[in-house]
Amino acid sequence: MKKAINILIIDDDEFVTASLTDYLINKGFSVKTANNGKNGLKMFERKHPPLVLLDQNLPDMEGVEVCRKILDMDPNVKIIFITAYATIEYAVRGMQAGAFNYLSKPFELEELLIAIDMAMKNVHMEGRLRVQDYKREKEKQEKKLVGSSEVLNRIREQIVLAASTDATVLITGETGVGKNVVAKAIHDLQDNRSSFLSINCSAIPENLIEAEYFGYEKGSFTGATTRREGIFELSEGGTLLLDEIGEIPLHLQSKLLTVLEEKNVRRIGSSRNIPVDVRVIATTNLELEEAIKNKTFRQDLYYRLGVFNMHIPPLRQHPEDISEIIDYFLKQFLNYPAKVPDSHIRKLMKYQWPGNVRELKNIIERACLLLQGNEIKPADLLFQKEIIPQMTPGKQNSDDIQEIMTLDQVKEQHIISALKICSGNKSRTAKALGISLSTLKRKLKDMGYQ
- What domains sit in the chain, N to C, each tagged with a CATH number? 6-136 (3.40.50.2300), 150-313 (3.40.50.300), 314-391 (1.10.8.60), 396-450 (1.10.10.60)
Asked if 239 and 163 count as a contact pair (C-beta separation under 8 A), the reply is no
Mean pLDDT of 120-143: 66
Beta-carbon count within 10 A of 385 CB: 9
- Rounded CA-CA distance 214/264 in Å is 10
Asked if 115 and 81 count as a contact pair (C-beta separation under 8 A), the reply is no
Share of the chain above pLDDT 90, in %: 43
pLDDT in the model for residue 142: 47
Mean pLDDT of 44-62: 90
Instruction: Please state whether beta strands 196-200 and 239-243 pair in parallel, antiparallel, or not at all (unpaired).
Output: parallel
- 436 phi/psi in degrees, rounded to 5: -75, 160
Sign of the CA dihedral with 349 first, then 350, 355, and 360 last: negative
pLDDT in the model for residue 173: 94
- Rounded CA-CA distance 142/135 in Å is 10
Beta-carbon count within 10 A of 371 CB: 19
In this structure, the chain runs to a length of: 450
**In the chain, what is the straight-line distance between the N-terminal and C-terminal CA atoms, in Å?**
46
Q: For residue 296, how far is the Cα from the chain centroid?
A: 35
- 306 phi/psi in degrees, rounded to 5: -90, 35
Asked if 70 and 9 count as a contact pair (C-beta separation under 8 A), the reply is no
Asked if 35 and 50 count as a contact pair (C-beta separation under 8 A), the reply is no
- Rounded CA-CA distance 146/143 in Å is 9
- Tens of pLDDT, residue by residue over 368-412, are 877 777 788 766 665 444 454 444 444 444 443 344 556 766 777
Radius of gyration of the chain (CA): 31
H helix count then E strand count, the chain: 19, 14
Least confident of 65-79, 136-150, 273-287: 136-150
pLDDT in the model for residue 52: 95
- Tens of pLDDT, residue by residue over 254-313, are 999 999 999 999 999 988 899 999 999 999 999 999 999 999 999 999 999 999 999 999
- Rounded CA-CA distance 5/49 in Å is 8
Give the containing element (helix H, strand E) for 197: strand 196-200
- Tens of pLDDT, residue by residue over 404-439, are 556 766 777 778 777 777 767 788 888 888 888 888
Average pLDDT value over all residues in the chain: 84
Beta-carbon count within 10 A of 180 CB: 16
Answer yes or no: is pLDDT of 76 > 90: no
Sign of the CA dihedral with 288 first, then 311, 244, and 257 last: negative
Long-range contacts of 129-137 (CB under 8 A, 24+ apart): 130/76
Long-range contacts of 262-265 (CB under 8 A, 24+ apart): 265/213, 265/214, 265/215, 265/230, 265/232, 265/233
| Nearest partner of 449 among 429, 419, 404, 428, judged by Cα | 419
Sign of the CA dihedral with 77 first, then 82, 83, and 87 last: positive
The CA-CA-CA angle for residues 417, 421, 423, to 5°, reads 115
The CA-CA-CA angle for residues 269, 274, 275, to 5°, reads 160
Asked if 200 and 243 count as a contact pair (C-beta separation under 8 A), the reply is yes
pLDDT in the model for residue 87: 65
Give the containing element (helix H, strand E) for 282: strand 279-284
Answer yes or no: is pLDDT of 109 > 80: yes
pTM of the model: 0.58
Beta-carbon count within 10 A of 276 CB: 18
Omega of the bond prior to 393 within 30 degrees of 0, cis?
no
- Rounded CA-CA distance 425/207 in Å is 44
